[in-house]
Amino acid sequence: MSTQLNLILLGPPGAGKGTQAARLVEDFNLPWVSTGDMLRAAVTEGSELGIKAKEYMDAGNLVPDDLIVALIVERIGEPDCSDGFLLDGYPRTIPQADALEQALRGLDRSVAATLLVELDDEEVVRRLSGRRMCVKGGHGYHLEFDPPKHEGICDQDGSRLIQRDDDVPEVIRRRLAVYHEQTEPLAAYYEDRGMLKRFDGSRTQTEVHDHIRAALATLRLEDSV
């Protein structure tokens, strides 16, 4: 069996993690394990863990770490994760990273690399605050990078374009403050363990993708020696 490519994807909102994840799962035939998607699926399916998670979500509370880790363990135990996985959205804090490490150790698995897509705050605000979405079909635009032909109107269905509440600059800055306080320390956590790979998110999506692919190809080569 090939070396397991168990990956964690980190980075601030707006760094393009979703785009890179979509490309990586295709490149390396890895399942994309998104904790948000996983939670929603577990709740929809009505699994034992999903029912527990729903109780917290319905009460407006965060789902506890041990429940999230249990969901991750359940998901990566499935056959499609046997050669590796790409974990997105978790961990977000050092205690979560500790819990994940312990759970993986129990499965005789470990993280091969943590991919950090870096982007400075002003660029994050510029990228996210420029996004617009049409009210009818949800078609997306960007005022700077992909503007509509007519200001404020969707090219495809003529409906009004709006800015999502979480794309307002003040909200973005609050999200960034939480990221810096809670999630950014994970860079040092994984760097100390020799697992961190840094990538410049201000480069084009293709350039970032090429750099990540090269880093992972090198990692696989080192592991096979």
36-53 residue pLDDT tens:
888 888 889 898 888 988
Q: Within a domain: residue 61? A: no
Which of 75, 126, 127, 131 does the annotation list as catalytic?
131
Is 92 an annotated catalytic residue? yes
Q: Within a domain: residue 51? A: no
Q: Which CATH number does the domain housing residue 153 bear?
A: 3.40.50.300
Q: What's the pLDDT tens digit per position in 179-199?
A: 999 999 999 999 999 999 999
Q: Within a domain: residue 100? A: yes
Which of 17, 75, 126, 127 does the annotation list as catalytic?
17
CA–CA separation, 139 and 135 (whole Å): 8
Banded pLDDT at 224 (limits 50, 70, 90): low
Is 175 an annotated catalytic residue? yes
In the predicted model, what is the mean pLDDT of the chain? 91
Higher pLDDT pick, 202 / 225 = 202
Is the pLDDT assigned to residue 225 strictly greater than 70? Answer: no
pLDDT of residue 221: 77
Global pTM?
0.87
Is 132 an annotated catalytic residue? no
Banded pLDDT at 1 (limits 50, 70, 90): very low
Bridge partners (DSSP) listed for residue 132: 141
Residue 203 per-residue DSSP state: S
Q: What phi and psi values does residue 158 have, to the nearest 5 degrees?
A: 70, 5
Q: Within a domain: residue 68? A: no
CA dihedral 2, 8, 13, 18 (to 10 degrees): 20
Joined together, the tokens standing for residue 164 give 């999502």
Which of 23, 52, 92, 203 does the annotation list as catalytic?
92
Banded pLDDT at 30 (limits 50, 70, 90): very high
Which of 105, 164, 173, 193 does the annotation list as catalytic?
164
Joined together, the tokens standing for residue 12 give 């601030």
pLDDT of residue 2: 43
Structural domain of residue 202, as residue ranges?
5-31+78-224
Q: Within a domain: residue 122? A: yes
DSSP string across 94-146: HHHHHHHHHHHHHTT----EEEEEE--HHHHHHHHHTEEEETTT--EEETTTB
The tally of domains found in the chain comes to 1
Closest CA to 17 of 154, 216, 212, 189: 212
pLDDT of residue 35: 85
Q: Within a domain: residue 50? A: no
Q: Within a domain: residue 39? A: no
Q: What's the pLDDT tens digit per position in 101-128?
A: 999 999 999 999 999 999 999 999 999 9
Which of 40, 175, 203, 220 does the annotation list as catalytic?
175
Q: What's the pLDDT tens digit per position in 142-190?
A: 999 999 999 999 999 999 999 999 899 999 999 999 999 999 999 999 9
Q: Within a domain: residue 42? A: no
